[in-house]
A and B are shown apart, each in its own frame.
Chain A
Amino acid sequence: DAKTTQPNSMESNEEEPVHLPCNHSTISGTDYIHWYRQLPSQGPEYVIHGLTSNVNNRMASLAIAEDRKSSTLILHRATLRDAAVYYCASTTSGTYKYIFGTGTRLKVLA
């Protein structure tokens, strides 16, 4: 099974960029990298996903290493509403099965 690891917690000042790392040590060539975030008392919310090249959407950017063993979620200007637990995830050999990382709790300081 794919194994994904993340730092337990990170802090950022409001309106500054945040780079959240994830290691995908056992990811295979066809497995997409996904990022979700979870606010208290809510289910995970989709943020972004990609396969090999960097991706941008209205919420964030995703940078994927050339060997795909790591990825970085970039929030360009953190706001207080971005405080959440961020999970990276990847599927297993192209199946429906997500393996979630351990999650990074992001604290945003006003």
Chain B
Amino acid sequence: DTEVTQTPKHLVMGMTNKKSLKCEQHMGHRAMYWYKQKAKKPPELMFVYSYEKLSINESVPSRFSPECPNSSLLNLHLHALQPEDSALYLCASSRTGGSNQPQHFGDGTRLSIL
């Protein structure tokens, strides 16, 4: 069982819909991450939060809006997505975000854009 919980597991939405992905961890980690993974490709970093503040945005389009309401929760708000945004969205956390710290991943939300 993963210690990082993501909901929902699957999401189908139209291009005009607004939805949110949720990620939760209770390991006391202070760094949290969003990744996007296309089929047969490695995960690609989207955002990094450190101590609830956004520290890295990898030039992600504004139709993806991250939010970190507290140290245990991470949301990804979605609006006006495109079909090419269909992918597995992974959340991860690490103790404080240093280079020497492993990341703990959730099992992801599989997103399909119609």
| A positions within 8 Å CB-CB of B | 30-32, 34, 36, 41-46, 49, 51, 87, 91, 94-98, 100-103
| A98–B90 CA distance with the chains assembled, in angstroms | 14
Q: Is the CB of A96 within 8 A of B48?
A: yes
Q: B61: CB under 8 A from chain A?
A: no
Q: Which chain B positions have C-beta within 8 A of A103?
A: 41-42
Given contacts A46-B103, A103-B42, 14 further A-B contacts (CB under 8 A): A31-B99, A43-B2, A44-B90, A46-B102, A46-B104, A49-B102, A91-B99, A94-B98, A96-B94, A96-B97, A97-B48, A98-B103, A100-B43, A103-B41
| A101–B50 CA distance with the chains assembled, in angstroms | 24
| Chain B: number of interface residues, binned into ranges | 20 to 34
Q: B85: CB under 8 A from chain A?
A: no
Q: Is the CB of A32 within 8 A of B107?
A: no
Q: Which chain A positions have C-beta within 8 A of B90?
A: 43-44
B 43-101 contacts with A by CB, 8 A: 43-45, 48, 50, 55-56, 58, 90, 92, 94, 97-100
